[in-house]
Amino acid sequence: MKIGVIGDDFTGSGDIANTLAKAGARTVQYVGTPSGHLADEIDAAVIALKTRSVEAGDAVAQSLAACRWLVANGAEQIVFKYCSTFDSTPQGNIGPVAQALLEELDAPLALVCPAFPANRRTVYNGHLFVGDRLLSESGMENHPLTPMTDPDIRRWLSRQTQLKVGHLPLESLRSGGAEAVFNLAKRNGEKLIVADAITDDDLIALGKIAKTHRLITGGSGIAMGLPSNFGIHPVIGDRQRFAGNNRPGFILSGSCSSATRRQIAAYRNGHPSMQLDAADVLDPDAAIASGLDFLVSHKDAGPLVYSTAEPSEVSAAQTRHGRERLAGLFETIFAELAAKAVAAGFRRLVVAGGETSGAVASAFGASALEVGPEIDTGVPVLILDGEPRLALALKSGNFGADDFFERALDMLKGGAP
């Protein structure tokens, strides 16, 4: 293995696994840190953790364990993957995890670059944009767990860590001045270098520059240029066919993002759907039983169960019942519902939301996921080759076109996309 990735959530891990696979790397995604040794010959291993919203000390401990497994299994370079919208609170976890990994790997500095231009996330002058809006005006300021209220990544990161934060401006990157910026940063004691990038070419250039870096941190875009540093190149048509699954499929959504809200509205028009609200989750057993009943009675119609709600409803419910408590209850319900639906014969699962996907995927135990073709930018088909074999689409909250759910369920059947 050449490249080892620590992903702070499940959909994000699928996103970077997809990027690495597209760049030609033989990639496996793991649900949590594996216990045994790496059996197969692969180029990249992505360990999907669910550390984005846990307490910082816990995120650090889990990330270090993943890093140690990756290094013990041959990883020459470690990537810490977080969200392209830098989802985190002022307490962490990006800063504390990056700091711990720098120390663990004895690295002098690491890049910080959430840019993902294909999904319209760009970094310029240290500020993160989503499309033509600053991050803090993009809808991310309403996120249920990690409201992003400051678009200046240097400032946001500085709240999370004592480490000195530096900056690699776009002009320096493009004019070949990155090494000089790194040398100056080392002299100034700067350890985390927020890098501007507004195009894929910028990210590929960053990847090349980071060839000798032991640690790199960023969104999935940062991985675009890494495989070629190890002599790995794309194989045309490699992931076009896969053995999918024709058995019943269903959709679960705990994401409240703007893209998911549009996708829910589009899918509800013509497909069976059921909403769980905050009142429902206070009685989890009843919510699971009625959710399962609904799924089974619409088994062949691709039923959708969602908790997705408008920002005003989410914040009212959080004020009444507590943010963490509600998130935990929804996640437990979705995970148990998924496990019961699979026991009832469902084999295709589409899940929207990173935290929600983490809870659902973990319900099937520690396992390795094969990375299939891309459904929409940043969302691959994932195959859990266990007993039973499952075809999964784990969608990041803000990813995917409006008709994503219908196309994803269809693509999970397999064959050519």
Ligand X SMILES: Nc1ncnc2c1ncn2[C@@H]1O[C@H](COP(=O)(O)OP(=O)(O)OP(=O)(O)O)[C@@H](O)[C@H]1O
Ligand Y SMILES: O=C(O)[C@@H](O)C(=O)CO
Give min distance, CB of 237 to ligand X, in A. Answer: 29
Stretch near ligand Y under the rule CB under 6 A, chosen from 10-18, 32-40, 68-76, 146-154? 10-18
In the bound complex, which residue of the shown chain has the CB atom lying closest to ligand Y?
12
CB atoms within 10 A of CB 365: 11
User: Of these, 117, 219, 291, 372, which contacts ligand Y (CB under 6 A)?
Assistant: 219
User: Binding to ligand X by residue 330, rule CB under 6 A?
Assistant: yes
User: Binding to ligand X by residue 71, rule CB under 6 A?
Assistant: no
User: Of these, 51, 63, 220, 308, which contacts ligand Y (CB under 6 A)?
Assistant: 220
Please report, as a single letter, which amino acid is at residue 248: P
CB atoms within 10 A of CB 387: 6
User: Binding to ligand Y by residue 139, rule CB under 6 A?
Assistant: no
User: Binding to ligand X by residue 356, rule CB under 6 A?
Assistant: yes
CB atoms within 10 A of CB 108: 15
Give min distance, CB of 84 to ligand X, in A. Answer: 9
Name residue 368's beta-bridge partners: 30
- In the DSSP assignment, the letter for residue 152 is B
- Residues 115, 221: Cα–Cα separation, whole Å: 6
93 cis-preceded (ω within 30 degrees of 0) = yes
Residues 332-391 that bind ligand Y (CB under 6 A): 354, 378
User: Binding to ligand X by residue 307, rule CB under 6 A?
Assistant: yes
Give min distance, CB of 273 to ligand X, in A. Answer: 14
- Residues 184, 149: Cα–Cα separation, whole Å: 30
User: Binding to ligand X by residue 309, rule CB under 6 A?
Assistant: yes
Q: Which of ligand Y, ligand X, none does 144 bind, CB closer than 5 to 8 A by kind?
A: ligand X
Residue 255, both tokens: 């994401």
Please report, as a single letter, which amino acid is at residue 75: A
Of 78 and 256, the one with the shorter C-beta distance to ligand X is 256
- Residues 41, 268: Cα–Cα separation, whole Å: 43
Please, which residues have CB within 8 angstroms of residue 336's CB and are 6 or more apart in sequence? 284, 288, 363
Stretch near ligand X under the rule CB under 6 A, chosen from 156-164, 219-227, 361-369, 393-401? 393-401
Stretch near ligand Y under the rule CB under 6 A, chosen from 11-19, 127-135, 238-246, 358-366? 11-19
Of 23 and 256, the one with the shorter C-beta distance to ligand X is 256
Q: 3-state class of 248 per DSSP?
A: coil
380 cis-preceded (ω within 30 degrees of 0) = no
- Residues 263, 257: Cα–Cα separation, whole Å: 10
Of 128 and 165, the one with the shorter C-beta distance to ligand Y is 128
Q: Which of ligand Y, ligand X, none does 63 bind, CB closer than 5 to 8 A by kind?
A: none
Please report, as a single letter, which amino acid is at residue 152: D
Of 196 and 376, the one with the shorter C-beta distance to ligand Y is 376
Tell me the per-residue interface mask from 240 to 279 with ligand X, x by CB under 6 A, - otherwise: --------------xxxx--x-----------------x-
Per the CB < 8 A criterion, the answer to whether 29 and 369 are in contact is: yes
User: Binding to ligand Y by residue 396, rule CB under 6 A?
Assistant: yes
Per the CB < 8 A criterion, the answer to whether 335 and 292 are in contact is: no
User: Binding to ligand Y by residue 15, rule CB under 6 A?
Assistant: yes
User: Of these, 1, 4, 9, 98, which contacts ligand Y (CB under 6 A)?
Assistant: 9
Q: Which of ligand X, ligand Y, none does 309 bind, CB closer than 5 to 8 A by kind?
A: ligand X
Q: Which of ligand Y, ligand X, none does 191 bind, CB closer than 5 to 8 A by kind?
A: none
**E strand spans, 87-160:** 110-113, 121-124, 127-130, 133-134
Question: How many chain residues interact with ligand Y (CB under 6 A)?
Answer: 13
CA 303 vs CA 126, 131, 267, 288, 297: distances in Å: 42, 32, 10, 15, 9
- Residues 44, 28: Cα–Cα separation, whole Å: 7
- Residues 232, 223: Cα–Cα separation, whole Å: 12
User: Binding to ligand Y by residue 11, rule CB under 6 A?
Assistant: yes
Of 84 and 307, the one with the shorter C-beta distance to ligand Y is 84
Q: Which of ligand X, ligand Y, none does 314 bind, CB closer than 5 to 8 A by kind?
A: ligand X
Closest CA to 80 of 239, 254, 231, 210: 210
Chain contacts with ligand X (rule: CB under 6 A): 9, 11, 143-145, 254-257, 260, 278, 307, 309, 314, 317-318, 326-327, 330-331, 353-356, 396-398
Chain contacts with ligand Y (rule: CB under 6 A): 9, 11-12, 15, 83-85, 116, 219-220, 354, 378, 396
